[in-house]
Amino acid sequence: MHVTPKALREIAATARIGLADDEIESACRDLNLIIDSLEPITRYDLEGVEPTFHPIAGLNNVMREDVEKPGLTQEEALTNAPATQNGQFKIPPILGDNGGDR
Amino acid sequence: MKSLATVLQDWEAVIGLEVHTELTTLGSKMFCGCKIEYGAPPNTHVCPVCLGMPGALPVPNRAAIESIVLAGLATGCDIEKHSMFYRKHYFYPDMAKNFQTTQGPVAFCMRGTLDLEVLGASAGERTHLQGTTPLAREEGYLTRIGITRIHMEEDAGKLVHVGGESGRISGADYSLVDYNRCGMPLIELVTEPDLRTPEEARLFLQKLRTIYLTLAISNCSMEQGSLRCDGNVSLRPRGSEKLGTKTELKNMNSFKNLHDGLAYEICRQAEVLEEGGRVRQETRHWEPASRRTISMRSKETADDYRLFPDPDLAPYHLSDEFIQRVAARLPELPDARVARYLAAYVLNAADARALAGEIELARFFDAALEAGSSKLAKPLANLLLNEVSAYLNTESVALAETRLDPQHLAELAGLVADGTISSMQGRQVLALVFARGVSPAELVEELGIRQVSDTGEIEAVAQTVLDNNADKVAEYRAGKTKLLGFFVGEAMKATGGTANPKLLNQTFQRLLS
Amino acid sequence: MTLSPAEYASLSLGDIRTGLDRRHFSARELAEAAFAAIEALEAGRVEAFLSLTPELALRAADEVDAQLAAGSGVADIGLLAGVPLGFKDNMNLLGSYTTCGSRMLENYESTLNATCVSKALAAGALPMGKLNMDEFAFGSSTETSSFKKTHNPWDLERVPGGSSGGSAAAVASGMLTASLGSDTGGSIRQPASFCGVVGFKPSYGVVSRYGVVAFGSSLDQVGPFARSVADVAALTDAICGYDPLDCTSQDVPASFSASVVAGQSDGIKGMRVGVVSEYLEAPGITTEVVLAFKEALRHVQDLGATIVELELPNAYAALSAYYVIGPCEAFSNLSRFDAVRYGFCVEGATNLTEQYELSRAQGFGLETKRRILLGNYLLSSGVYTTYYYPAQQVRTLITQDYRRAFEQADVLLTPTSPRTAFRFGEVSDPTSMHLSDIFTIPINIAGNGGLNLPVGLGEESGLPVGLQIIGPQFKDGNILRVAAALEATYDIERLAPLSGALSGGAA
């Protein structure tokens, strides 16, 4: 399974990483090199083997009680924001892409 | 465009709903301790977790899990003991992590049902009744709606679009983000495509809302957005089994909009199909002002959300004990309440359903009956469904916010029932109870209003009325017996509404015979 | 009575405890000596720090001194009273920038304390500053940091390893008594090996991950660097335990130091020590590493332990599984860097997508973008069932291998890295870089603990060689016990020769 430049453009677009045309080819090469190294995974017969999504066996039902806790002030929340207005995070217009809806 | 009734003669509408409900009654968000409050200043109920700050980790709220299990039990779902949270990825600025924590193929609640009783005019919208059960002694039918699943997830923040065309996303100069709502516990219920008319969809949402309100898991305000509903609609020719292409309908933020949006979309699709066109798979936005749906986005290609189990959150293995503990908290549900009312009181089915459908009225009704005799059921129901509801509507308040308490209402119903005051006086007293919060009996005393039930007094008034209307008396005697009402009315006028109407009736009948 | 930088550089945690108790020096003197050592060795030499936090350190030192003055004993103040400690720059510390070695977070001010940080502070540690790392911990040499290259104190022409290269180099050079790092595929153990210090990655779940910027959420684990086994044990005791803010943290007892005492006093006689012979034929493994490993086995036998030959049939697939799971989790975790709430933001984007794409293109470095793209690809529909899901199934097999192996052995020994520290730029293509982690990665896949113990200098390179001691999951005490016993059989200088500059009056 290899990634084509066309597929990579799509992958970069959904990951919101802008790639210049001249970066596509080398990124493709790097990715395919790594994908080749993943081959051992595909050789297994894994019929009936349960996946391990969490490395601690038996970890389950971890919850907290429904208790309100102080969070950040508005000022703290906005400290690191590139742009703000009236206590909110300010962003450029959303449209211009497929972002009108989810 | 053809009317809905005409369209539904030839086409069968297949409707499914997705209902999002915020668990507004909880004390904190889904994965952090931030407060849940509607309308707070922007970004004041936020923390590193719900802002998706680097390094922050989620911890699920136990009460939210209990709430969704409660919702599942109340809608006949199987509670899945083994499930996980997944991450659903898409970039959108109202989502702090650019993934939503939600559930995967297995949700906490799967395979439920909700039975809808569709009556009167609502029933009339459905032209073909196959698959439904007729209701005994009533005009209408019963239909069972499948619930695919209810899953647990987190809500997104709120966007405000500035500039351009009045708050619209298109043409905006920029947007502002408030994350107060981000991370609110949200349950999403998905129905099977079992609904056939917009009216059924409306009734389904209404019934679901009543159930959730009964469970006290949400305030279910469509206005505030704590209850939101999307619809999936497709058409197929009558008799066909094959599903047509569906569109997804959004922004139906009231029961009326849900109905009207679906009705419009059904008619629109019929027009497209009848003109030989093809329905495009897309998301459409209902615009109540212009009463139409507009296309928002094509969904011809399936979305790829890169769903995978959230490694930060432990899997769930709910124990029988956990589920039983939640089940023990299940209150009486609306259907059971209707059955109880019909069995215990002299009430008609419509009144029983109307009361059970408004949890606040139903609870008040139960409390009032606890304070008074069960014989008062009918007058109490009448008072609540008419005078009290009218007051709440005009004043736009909730019952709990008024000064009326169940004891007072029972007392008032008793005063009317035993003839101490007339029902007209009863209305007058009720208005004063709302205004001053005092006991009706005291008010009656204070105002000195009493229903005139003294036969001598009544007879004197009646005789005066008859004396003043000799011509009408003659007409009555000639056979125009309908004039009895006129005489009673005149007598009531003369006594300022204080005369006992029953006695008046009897007296006039006697004097005129 | 003042403490010289050279004296400071040789102190262990125990020395600090004694020195404070006996009033040989104050916590403020410790902090000042540490900053003097940093002044002497950092700029133009080791370059381990991304930021220094002298105000925080001095305030913490004064608090310790005030408590001492009020009559508290060092033990009452905490396990780390007065210990100059540095944090990898993916650990949030209030009052500091947390950059993750990335331009993306160049100006990011922490809004919280990571749990490991707050526990260390509560134990009396002095927060000295934040340490360089590979960008978002993607790397094995600290070369992918957006800001600077950190130099190996044993040879400034060489890398310190990574991704916690700054944490390892600062301790090896004597600038810090101890530091914290994080380990997703070897990021504590490998730089500890390259820099000749002790680095310990406890079992997944022993230390809370809250506040540590995530790379691979099911692989990441926090752990300490120091110049002795006893010191890393004390550090682990101070930062371990259940944290209500991290669902995956575990309620483990703080008994790591006790295991060290057991190793020192009772030894390891009768313990079963596992080895996997074929590991010594791993690709790229150097002769000096094999020799040092065999010598370590002789030490083990001399101590009366039994060597047991073990098999880990699925270990060869661990690297592949890691390069699926790691990037997938990283892709997801790094989605939040979108220039809306924080982070590098391009100027003048005309719409949001453009702002997203350009900010992420310019804010992230090459290796980070590579992993995000890889993870996004591996999670896409159709591909998910080819790699991601099978990788998690293979993870089950690998975990079972270890479980079975640890029925026959109390610990497992491997080299930490197939080779000693390499020169800058020497290993550049991603796949050969990954090979330097072949011994460490499987442990993260299985969730076990592992420790790097320096076992001397390579015969050929003259650079530190490390031994990895691995334990059964949540039996990290076994690791520390063996490490402590084995450590006593070596007479090794843990401070890099560079630290000699401190006594040369460079300050």
Containing B432, the helix (H) or strand (E) segment is helix B423-436
Topology of the domain covering C5-314+398-498? Amidase signature (AS) enzymes (3.90.1300)
Contact C351 A92 (CB under 8 A): yes
Question: Look-up: residue for tokens 């909880």?
Answer: B26
C-alpha pair distances (Å), B113 with each of B116, B207, B324, B473: 10, 12, 20, 63
Residue of chain A minimizing CA distance to B95 = A102
- Between B429 and B498, the more confident residue is B429
Q: What's at A5, amino acid-wise?
A: P
- Report the neighbours of B using a cutoff of 3 or more CB pairs below 8 angstroms: A, C
> What pLDDT is recorded for position C504?
64
Q: Is residue B459 scored above 90 in pLDDT?
A: no
Overall size of chain A counted in residues: 102
Instruction: Give, in order, the Cα–Cα distances in Å from B355 to each of B318, B360, B363, B377, C25.
Output: 35, 9, 9, 11, 79
Does the annotation count C88 as an active-site position? yes
Work out the average pLDDT over C9-28.
97
Q: Determine the pLDDT at residue C325.
A: 98
CA-wise closest residue to B208 among B223, B224, B187: B187
* Residues, chain B: 513
Q: Hey, are the CB atoms on C343 and A51 less than 8 Å from each other?
A: no
Tell me the C-alpha distance between C329 and C333, whole Å: 6
pLDDT tops 70 at residue C379? yes
How many cross-chain Cβ pairs, A to C, lie less than 8 Å apart? 181
- Helices C287-302 and C476-487 meet at what angle, rounded to 10? 90
Mean pLDDT over C71-87 rounds to 96
Residue of C nearest to A87 (CA): C341
pLDDT reported for residue C1: 52
Cα–Cα distance between B194 and C336 in angstroms, integer? 39
Annotation says C4 is catalytic: no
- E strand or H helix at C453, and its extent? strand C450-457
SS3 assignment for B335-358: HHHHHHHHHHCCCCHHHHHHHHCC
Q: Which residues in B lie closer than 8 A to residue A91 (C-beta atoms)? A: 93, 174-177
- Residue A22 located in a structural domain: yes
Phi, psi for residue B100 in degrees, rounded to 5: -105, 135
CB C180 within 8 A of CB C239: yes
Which residue among C349, C376, C394 sits closest to A11, beta carbon to beta carbon?
A: C376
Question: How much is the ipTM here?
Answer: 0.96
- From the CA of C297, how many Å to the nearest CA of chain A? 30
Residue A102: what pLDDT? 41
Please spell the DSSP secondary structure of C341-397, one letter per residue. Answer: SSS---S--SSHHHHHHHHHHHHS-HHHHHHHHHHHHHHSTTTTTTTHHHHHHHHHH
What is the structure's pLDDT at B494? 84
Q: C350 φ, ψ to 5°?
A: -90, -20
What predicted TM-score, i.e. pTM, was given to this entire model?
A: 0.92
Determine what percent of chain A is predicted with pLDDT higher than 90: 85
> For residue A11, which residues of chain C lie inside 8 Å, CB to CB?
373, 376-377, 380
Tokens read off for B416: 């009317």
Q: Is the pLDDT of residue A98 over 60?
A: no
A 42-81 residues inside an 8 A Cβ radius of C: 42, 44, 46, 49-57, 59, 62, 64, 72, 76-77, 79-81
> C250 — contact with chain B (CB < 8 Å)?
no
Q: How far apart are CA A9 and CA C481, in angstroms?
A: 52
* Neighbouring C-alpha atoms within 13 Å toward the C-beta of C399: 25
Contact residues on chain B for A61, CB-CB shorter than 8 A: 314, 316-318, 322
Q: What is the pLDDT of residues B377-399, one digit of tens each?
A: 999 999 999 999 999 999 989 89
What's the confidence (pLDDT) of residue B69? 98
Q: What is the mean pLDDT of residues C191-202?
A: 98
**What residue segments make up the domains of chain B, in order of their start?**
4-320, 334-447, 455-512
Asked if C229 contacts C198 with a C-beta cutoff of 8 angstroms, the reply is yes
Say if residue C258 is exposed, middle or buried (CB neighbours under 10 Å; 0-12, 13-18, 19+): middle
CA distance B31 to B26: 12
List chain C domain ranges.
Answer: 5-314+398-498
Q: Is A62 among the domain residues?
A: no
CA angle B23, B58, A54 (to 5 degrees): 120
Which CATH number applies to B455-512: 1.10.3810.10, 3.40.50.720, 3.30.565.10, 1.10.10.410? 1.10.10.410
pLDDT, one tens digit per residue, over B140-156 is 999 999 999 999 999 99
Of the candidates C482, C430, C418, C18, the one whose C-alpha atom is nearest the C-alpha of residue C259 is: C482
The chain B residue lying nearest A59, using CA atoms, is B314
Residue of C nearest to A64 (CA): C244
How far are the Cα atoms of B125, B279, C14, C126 from residue B10, in angstroms, in the given order?
13, 17, 88, 79
Query: Distance from B258 to chain C by nearest Cα, in Å?
Result: 32
Question: What digits encode the pLDDT tens for the residues A49-84?
Answer: 999 999 999 999 999 999 999 999 999 999 999 999
DSSP 3-state assignment of C204? coil
CB contact under 8 Å between C396 and A15, yes or no, is no
Mean pLDDT across the stretch C270-274? 98
Q: Which of C91, C218, C376 sits opposite B311 (nearest CB)?
A: C218
Establish whether the linkage from the previous residue to C163 is cis, with ω within 30° of 0: yes
- Burial label for B121, CB within 10 Å (0-12, 13-18, 19+), is exposed
Q: Residue C430: pLDDT band by 50, 70, 90 thresholds?
A: low
Which of these is catalytic: C163, C164, C203, C249? C163
What mean pLDDT, rounded, does chain B reach? 92
Is the per-residue pLDDT at B453 higher than 80?
no
Please report the pLDDT score of residue B300 as a whole number. 67
DSSP notation for C297-355? HHHHHHTTPEEEE---TTGGGHHHHHHHHHHHHHHHHGGG-SSSSSS---S--SSHHHH
What's the pLDDT band for C505 if we cut at 50, 70, 90? Answer: very low
Question: What whole-number distance in Å separates Cα of residue B182 and Cα of residue B253?
Answer: 20
Q: CA-nearest residue of chain A to B310?
A: A53
C440-462: pLDDT as tens digits: 999 999 999 999 999 999 999 99
Contacts of B177 in chain C (CB under 8 A): 340
Q: Has residue B1 got a pLDDT over 90?
A: no
| H runs (alpha helix) in C215-302 | 229-239, 256-266, 287-302
Q: Indicate yes or no: CB of C320 within 8 angstroms of CB of A37.
A: yes
Other CB atoms within a 10 A radius of the CB of residue C57 amount to 25
- Which residues, 6 or more positions from C328, have their beta carbon under 8 angstroms from its beta carbon? B308, C375, C378, C379, C388
DSSP codes of every residue in B274-332: HTT-----EEEEEETTTTEEEEEEE--SPP----EE-TTS--EE--HHHHHHHHTT---
Model pLDDT for residues B163-218, shown as the tens digit of each residue: 876 667 778 899 999 999 999 999 999 999 999 999 999 999 999 999 999 999 99
Task: Identify all chain B residues contacting C339, using CB atoms and an 8 Å cutoff.
Answer: none
SS3 assignment, position C238: helix
Chain B residues touching C118 at Cβ < 8 A: none
Query: Who among C216, C245, C380 is closest to B306 (CB)?
Result: C380
Q: Across the interface, which of C205, C390, C445 has its CB nearest the CB of A44?
A: C390
Average of pLDDT values for C195-206? 98
Nearest CA in chain C to A99: C353
Residue of C187, C144, C185 whose CA lies nearest to C167: C187
* Beta carbons of C352 and A41 less than 8 Å apart: no
Overall average pLDDT of the C90-107 stretch? 98
**Residues on chain B touching A14 (C-beta within 8 angstroms):** 304, 306
Averaged pLDDT, B327-352:
94
C135 — pLDDT class (breaks 50, 70, 90): very high
Return the percentage of chain B with pLDDT > 70, whole number.
99
Q: From the CB of residue B99, how many other CB atoms can be counted at a distance below 10 Å? A: 24
The pLDDT tens digits of the residues spanning B222-264 come to 999 999 999 999 999 999 999 999 999 998 999 999 999 999 9
Tell me if chain A has a CB within 8 Å of the CB of B176. yes
| DSSP element (H, E) containing B153 | strand B140-154
Amino acid found at C65: D
Q: Are strands B133-134 and B316-317 parallel, antiparallel or unpaired?
A: unpaired
Residues of C in contact with B55 (CB under 8 A): 90-92, 98, 112, 114, 210-214
For position B412, what pLDDT does the model report? 92
Most C CBs within 10 A among A4, A31, A38, A73, hence the mutation to make, goes to A38
Measured between beta carbons, the chain B residues lying within 8 angstroms of A72 are 46-48, 51
Domain count of the fold of chain A = 1
Helix (H) or strand (E) holding C179: strand C178-183
Q: Both ends of chain B: CA-CA distance in Å? A: 62
Domain range spanning residue A12? 5-42
Q: Is C72 a catalytic residue?
A: no
Using CA atoms, how far apart are residues B205 and B220, in angstroms rounded to an integer? Answer: 10
Compare CB distances from B59 to C108, C244, C332 and report the shortest one's residue.
Answer: C244
Cβ atoms within 10 Å of B345's Cβ, excluding its own: 18
A35-52 average pLDDT score: 95
Question: Which of A35-39, B501-505, C414-418 bottoms out in mean pLDDT, i.e. has the lowest?
Answer: B501-505
Length of chain C: 507
Encode pLDDT of C477-502 as tens digits.
Answer: 999 999 999 999 999 999 999 988 99
In angstroms, the first-to-last Cα distance of chain C is: 17
pLDDT at A101 over 90: no
- pLDDT at site A96: 57
* Contact between C111 and C93 (Cβ < 8 Å): no
Q: Which two tokens stand for residue C55?
A: 């105000």
Pairwise CB contact (< 8 Å): B296 & A64: no
Q: What is the mean pLDDT of chain C?
A: 96
pLDDT at position B509 over 60: yes
Query: Min CA distance, C354 vs chain A (Å)?
Result: 8
Q: Over the stretch B119-136, which tens digit does the pLDDT of each residue have?
A: 888 888 998 888 899 887
Q: How far apart are the C-alpha atoms of C197 and C279, rounded to whole Å? A: 23
Interface contact C218-B96, CB threshold 8 A: no
Note whether B48 contacts C384, CB cutoff 8 Å. Answer: no
* pLDDT top residue among C348 and B424: C348
